[in-house]
């Protein structure tokens, strides 16, 4: 789950006492690790690109596949709420997530060498690599869901007792920790690859999930049975948590069938599912222009910082603008901005006296700011769609649908890349691919009327009604 999302999710039940220092350190560490695991992002890209020789279309399709664990986040919530391990609903799943993440990265770090030494062919090694990357992605998603559940419970208690300072502080804590982790890892994800192999980077990254397992013991949690004896949870709450997944899915389906919910959800899906040419552009920047991992790491650092600027600009100037208008105009403005990549692809930027590196930095900064400004209203809209009683589960479901739409967009982009025969050495159709991907982002606007009613208000107006 993105860090911006957490500000809207983290809010709501808790003991009279303020969170202890151990609790605060534990929560901050979990979210920091989630952001810092971006350290392995470029490593997985260069591993697939350089070691397994995947082309642009194959790489895009594979990276889209690796985001699938984020499309089933409600399932993790159902499991941790309804099926405690050794009596614990939170701590045990954090330990499990940390161990799975550690083992997955260690397979990538040293296991592949052992497998190759045993004479396993490249296709089998690639399969094992993809499975390991999927498991590492699932471990991050699981720890994210469990940590969100812990914070939601603590902030809910604080809010009910009128202590909004604690609630707001925890919201800032989880968002800020993840943001700091992401910023720190952004640059080093590239600079490390200049001096070591992707497998070495995976070895370093493997330590981070273990930190989640270790720090989870600092979170105060009593076994479910003891909570029941102490009266901290009642039979109804336990019964609800243990309700079969089929019953919870039935409640979700009943909500999603309502036109005032499924129409906006469908619009958001279409809006996010438009194709992207990111995979092909990566090959163009590395194979044609000659950018190395360290430069790409610097780009990631600048775009991460730019996203924070986008958050500031939205909160400062656009919270009072109707959500539908924000989505409409950011979609329209993003097209000409996205098409500026044609200057880089044609190398015309050089004739204008703009170096390739400066052009990429400037282009990515603007697009990152715009992307964050466009993303934040979708979170507000998703929260607005959730009816009382199933807010948490439905919100997680909506975010999973949103993540699934992003996967669809990546896969469609991979298909177009293959269809237009854009390869690691032939970029003759990259300009056409860029045009198609950018112009197609306007197509969902034909259905923006599906936001009528829920999207006609601004975030500020929605909050005033709460």
CATH class of 247-466: mainly alpha
How far apart are alpha carbons 44 and 62 in whole angstroms?
Answer: 10
Nearest in space to 410 (alpha carbons), one of 137, 57, 49, 70:
57
Cβ atoms of 274 and 444 within 8 Å: the answer is: yes
pTM: 0.84
Cβ atoms of 30 and 94 within 8 Å: the answer is: yes
Tens place of pLDDT for every residue, the chain, 466 residues?
Answer: 444 444 444 433 334 445 677 878 888 899 999 999 999 999 999 999 998 899 999 999 999 999 999 998 888 877 887 788 888 878 899 999 999 999 999 999 987 666 555 555 678 888 899 999 999 999 999 998 888 877 777 766 665 665 555 555 666 677 788 888 988 898 899 999 999 999 999 999 999 999 999 998 888 777 766 655 555 555 555 555 555 556 667 777 787 888 888 899 999 999 999 999 999 999 999 999 999 999 999 999 999 899 889 888 988 889 899 999 999 999 999 999 999 999 999 999 999 999 999 999 998 889 889 988 988 888 888 877 777 656 667 777 888 888 999 999 999 999 999 999 999 999 999 999 999 999 999 999 999 999 988 888 887 777 676 6
Domain 1-243 belongs to what topology?
Answer: Growth Hormone; Chain: A; (1.20.1250)
Cβ atoms of 340 and 363 within 8 Å: the answer is: yes
State the Cα angle at 169 between 165 and 173, rounded to 5°: 175
Domain boundaries, the chain: 1-243, 247-466
Residue 384, judged by CB atoms within 10 A of its CB (0-12, 13-18, 19+), counts as: middle
> What is the per-residue burial (b if ≥16 Cβ within 10 Å, else e) of 420-454?
bebbbeebebbbebbbbbbebbeebeeebebbeeb
Nearest in space to 364 (alpha carbons), one of 442, 306, 288:
306
Nearest in space to 146 (alpha carbons), one of 243, 79, 226, 246:
79
Q: Do the first three CATH levels of 1-243 and 247-466 match, i.e. the same topology?
A: yes
């Amino acid at each position: 789950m993105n860090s911006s999302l957490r500000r809207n999710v983290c809010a709501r039940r808790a003991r009279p006492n303020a969170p202890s220092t151990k609790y605060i350190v534990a929560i901050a560490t979990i979210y920091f690790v989630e952001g810092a695991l971006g350290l392995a992002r470029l490593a997985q890209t260069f591993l697939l690109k350089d070691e397994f020789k995947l082309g642009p279309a194959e790489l895009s399709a594979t990276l889209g596949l690796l985001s699938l664990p984020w499309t089933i986040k409600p399932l993790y919530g159902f499991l941790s709420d309804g099926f405690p391990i050794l009596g614990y609903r939170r701590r045990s799943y954090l330990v499990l997530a940390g161990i799975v993440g550690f083992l997955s990265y260690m397979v990538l770090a040293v296991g592949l060498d052992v497998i190759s030494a045993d004479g396993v062919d490249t296709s089998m090694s690639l399969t094992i690599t993809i499975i390991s990357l999927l498991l590492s992605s699932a471990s991050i998603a699981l720890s994210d869901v469990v940590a969100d559940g812990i914070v939601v419970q603590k902030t809910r208690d604080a809010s009910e007792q009128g202590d909004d300072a604690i609630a707001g502080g925890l919201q800032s804590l989880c968002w800020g920790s993840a943001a700091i982790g992401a910023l720190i890892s952004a640059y080093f994800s590239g600079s490390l690859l200049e001096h070591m192999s992707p497998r070495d980077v995976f070895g370093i990254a493997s330590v981070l999930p273990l930190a989640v397992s270790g720090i989870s013991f600092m979170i105060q949690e009593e076994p479910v049975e003891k909570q029941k004896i102490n009266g901290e949870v009642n039979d109804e709450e336990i019964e609800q948590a243990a309700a079969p997944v089929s019953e919870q899915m039935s409640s979700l389906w009943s909500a999603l069938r309502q036109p005032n919910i499924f129409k906006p959800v469908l619009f958001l899906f279409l809006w996010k599912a438009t194709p992207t040419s990111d995979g092909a552009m990566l090959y163009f920047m590395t194979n044609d222009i000659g950018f190395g991992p360290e430069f790409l790491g610097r780009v990631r650092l600048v775009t991460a910082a730019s996203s924070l600027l986008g958050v500031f600009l939205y909160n400062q100037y656009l919270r009072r603008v109707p959500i539908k208008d924000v989505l409409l105009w950011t979609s329209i403005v993003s097209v000409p901005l996205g098409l500026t990549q044609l200057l880089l692809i044609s190398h015309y930027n050089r004739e204008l006296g703009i170096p390739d590196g400066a052009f990429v930095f400037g282009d990515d900064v603007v697009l990152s700011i715009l992307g964050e400004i466009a993303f934040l209203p979708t979170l507000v809209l998703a929260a607005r769609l959730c009816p009382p009683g199933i807010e948490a589960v439905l919100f997680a479901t909506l975010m999973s649908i949103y993540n699934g739409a992003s996967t669809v967009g990546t896969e469609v982009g991979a298909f177009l890349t293959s269809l237009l025969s854009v390869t690691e050495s032939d970029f003759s159709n990259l300009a056409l691919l860029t045009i198609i991907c950018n112009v197609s982002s306007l197509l969902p606007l034909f259905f923006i009327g599906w936001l009528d009613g829920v999207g006609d208000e601004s975030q500020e107006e929605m909050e005033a009604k709460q």
